[in-house]
Structure 1
Amino acid sequence: MTAPTTSLLTGAEVMQHLVESAGATREPAADMADLAEVIRTLLAVEARRDTRVRLGGNLFDVVISSSGLQARSVVALMDQVQGGCGPVIEDPDSGWFYWLVPPGSSAQWERHTHAVCLGAPHTITLPSLNRMVPPGPYWFRPSASDRLVPTKPLRDALARFRPEPTPHAALTTQLGVTS
């Protein structure tokens, strides 16, 4: 619809122009599927259900290390660095810690002898927010909405305490990850 050159558009003509320029009414915006998935995930976590989420995007990436005594020393150090360590999930069955780090960290993570950082396209299952003890994966350090684990101090602490065994061989076998 083009506007007449000699007069102003009426309110109805403006509305009609907006409707026509908006496109198909049933066609969702390209980013709505991602937003819907994030909302469903957050609702599931809030409802205290284990929830599988994609790494990367706007949420977080994950650093995987051993959960042994040395890794617990890393948590204690991160408690000091952060005034309470950011979110860490322990999986007693695999013997791993999953450190939730800022999104995009995996793209900048350089090979580390004692940890691996994963982002998209990988996924992780978050335990329900009320799971603080085994069996199964649980929140060793609960998730707080205001923080993730910063990668630089985490990387330095992992290099200092050297948690063993490293996850590299297991991740290569399970996921084909060679970083």
Structure 2
Amino acid sequence: MTVEPLVDPSGAEVMASLVARSGPGQEPAADMEDLAEALRALLGVEAGCDTRVRLGGNLFDVVITGSGAQAYAVVAAMDKIQGGCGPVIEDPANGWLYWLVPPGSTARWEPHPYAVCLGAPHLITLPPLERTAPPGPYWLRPSASDRLVPAGPLWGLLAQLRPDPTPHELLAAQLGTHR
């Protein structure tokens, strides 16, 4: 019987062995790129820049409605429901409100005569956090880190209060889709 002498591996050899057994090296987790993109976008908004953000993922989807008197009544109702409405952007050029709703809302959103819900792969441009009046899109209800607009109550209030103009045709034209 032959006995091999015990040899203590060096620290470098131990680390090399651990790295070799740990799987593919130098590859970030799949969701880390999404997180990094989201953080860069949110830092841009906080720094006072208009920032394009991909909808869906872990951030939010968006519901688009007209921005007339009925839409403002929906905002007031959501203020009462939420103790302050979640984030809403007004776009005076298009006459729309963008309601930031939880991610995944698009998959559960039933067709609505007064609103469109969009998620991935669409993009939205978020105005700087301090922009709370025109010119350009602005925060009608500022973004708060602790809330989004709940899609279910929003859907019901929009059906009840019917904000005009509806975004369907103009949005379809901008996105290059058909109704």
State how far apart, in whole Å, the 2-side matches of 1:41 and 1:64 are: 21
Amino acid at match of 2:138: Y
Cα RMSD (Å): 2.2
- 2 CA distance for matches of 1:8 and 1:56? 54
Stretches of 4+ aligned residues off by more than 4 angstroms: 7-11, 23-26
Stretches of structure 1 that go unaligned for 5 or more consecutive residues are: 1-6
Tell me, in whole angstroms, the C-alpha distance in 1 between the residues paired with 2:70 and 2:49: 30
Q: Which amino acid aligns with 2:64?
A: I
One-letter code aligned to 2:32: M
Equivalent residue, structure 2, for 1:97: 97
Question: Kindly tell me: are residues 139 and 8 of structure 1, through their superposed partners in 2, closer, same or farther at Cα, counting changes over 3 Å?
Answer: farther
* Greater Cα radius of gyration, structure 1 or 2: 2
Q: Which runs of 5 or more residues in structure 2 are unaligned?
A: 1-5
Contact 1:127 1:137 in 2 (8 A): yes
CA distance in 1 between counterparts of 2:7 and 2:165 reads: 74
2:49 corresponding residue in structure 1: 49
SS in 1 for 2:57: coil
Q: In the alignment, what sits opposite 1:116?
A: 116
- Scaled by the length of structure 1, the TM-score of the pair is 0.89
Task: Determine if the alignment matches structure 1 residue 137 to structure 2 residue 137.
Answer: yes
Q: Report the CA distance shift for 1:118/1:177 in structure 2 as closer, same or farther (over 3 A).
A: farther
Equivalent pairs counted in the alignment come to 174
Shift of 1:86: 0.3
Note if contact 1:55-1:123 (Cα within 8 Å) is conserved in structure 2. yes
Partner Cα distance (2:107, 2:8) in 1? 51
TM-score by length of 2: 0.89
Secondary structure of the corresponding residue to residue 63 of structure 1: strand
Deviates more, 1:52-61 or 1:169-178: 169-178
The amino acid of 2:40's aligned partner reads R
